[in-house]
Amino acid sequence: MKSLLFGRFLLLLPWVLIVIIVLDIDSSRPPLPALAPRGGGGSGGARPAAGRAPPRQAPEAAVPTIYAITPTYSRPVQKAELTRLANTFRQVARLHWILVEDAAARSELVSRFVAGAGLPCTHLHVPTPRRYKRPGLPRATEQRNAGLAWLRQRHQHLPPPQSGVLFFADDDNTYSLELFQEMRTTRKVSVWPVGLVGGRRYERPVVENGKVVGWYTGWRADRPFAIDMAGFAVSLQVILSHPKAVFKRRGSQPGMQESDFLKQITTVEELEPKANNCTKVLVWHTRTEKVNLANEPKYHLDTVSIEV
């Protein structure tokens, strides 16, 4: 009897050992992740809080392009001014710089600068007629009009609506990055304050109940649009739908260019106040001081030629 039991034990022993080994292997494996229910879209991790969808970022193509028209002319501080402006523009998404020289041909200095600027840029040139260079006459008229003409020609064959915003960015101003966020939502014509202009710390549109009702300015408050060139932006669609709207030479007086242009495309009642109902200054008419070159030699004496 004992020999029979012992024989059966020997027969069962290998199978018992196999079962023990298999159980030991399974216990050493990491647990499988729980399967997400069908249609849930999850992947076994923590689910987002109920009622909160993950934030969606607008595709880049849906962000309106800002077109900045900048007249510029040859002077000792030209490259310094353009460098400061380019450093600002490089931080603005979807901005196209239209740089217009007051010259009969593109200068080497500006051409080299544009090539290394590192942002989308169109380099144009048009000279101001000599008879319009007298003191007291409006400046940069031909250059701004050249930028408008390029913009219309570029978009004339594209179907509406075309999103975009036009802004006149003189090279002697200083711009906050917040300004570009404000102007990008312009539906027709938007306005905001400008600092260090008109003999005052700032000028601004006066706003009541979300509408422009007047102007806080130190010079000719009777102007239809008593605003600086840096104080407004225009929707691209408005520019395209008013093909004859340009800056005028005939009959235009100094300080009236903004009013003469805006009268062709909008009314005061239609203006869109930005910058917290025109209570924040986001652009300054700083102007670089006149450079002192009293000790500059008449003839070049250095052994190298340096572009400044």
Which segments are annotated as binding site for UDP-alpha-D-glucuronate? 71-73, 102, 139, 144, 170-172, 285-287
Q: Which residues are annotated as a binding site for Mn(2+)?
A: 172
Q: Under 8 Å CB-to-CB from 202, ≥6 apart: which residues?
A: 193, 194, 195, 196, 216, 281
Q: Which residues are annotated as a binding site?
A: 71-73, 102, 139, 144, 170-172, 285-287
Give the residue from 267, 263, 259 showing the smallest Cα distance to 231. 259
**Residues 184, 251: Cα–Cα separation, whole Å:** 32
Question: Which residues are catalytic, by number?
Answer: 258
Q: In 3-state terms, what secondary structure has residue 277?
A: helix
DSSP per residue, 153-164 = HHHTTSPSP---
Give the residue from 264, 68, 67 showing the smallest Cα distance to 163. 67
**Residues 102, 80: Cα–Cα separation, whole Å:** 17
Give the residue from 216, 219, 185, 235 showing the smallest Cα distance to 278. 216
Q: First-to-last CA distance in the chain?
A: 113
97-113 b/e with 16+ CB inside 10 Å = b?
bbbbbbbeeebeebeeb
**Residues 95, 180: Cα–Cα separation, whole Å:** 9
Please list the residues that pair with 284 across neighbouring strands: 174, 195
Residue type for 57, please? Q
49-84 b/e with 16+ CB inside 10 Å = b?
eeeeeeeeeeeeeeebbbbbbbbbbeeebbbebbeb
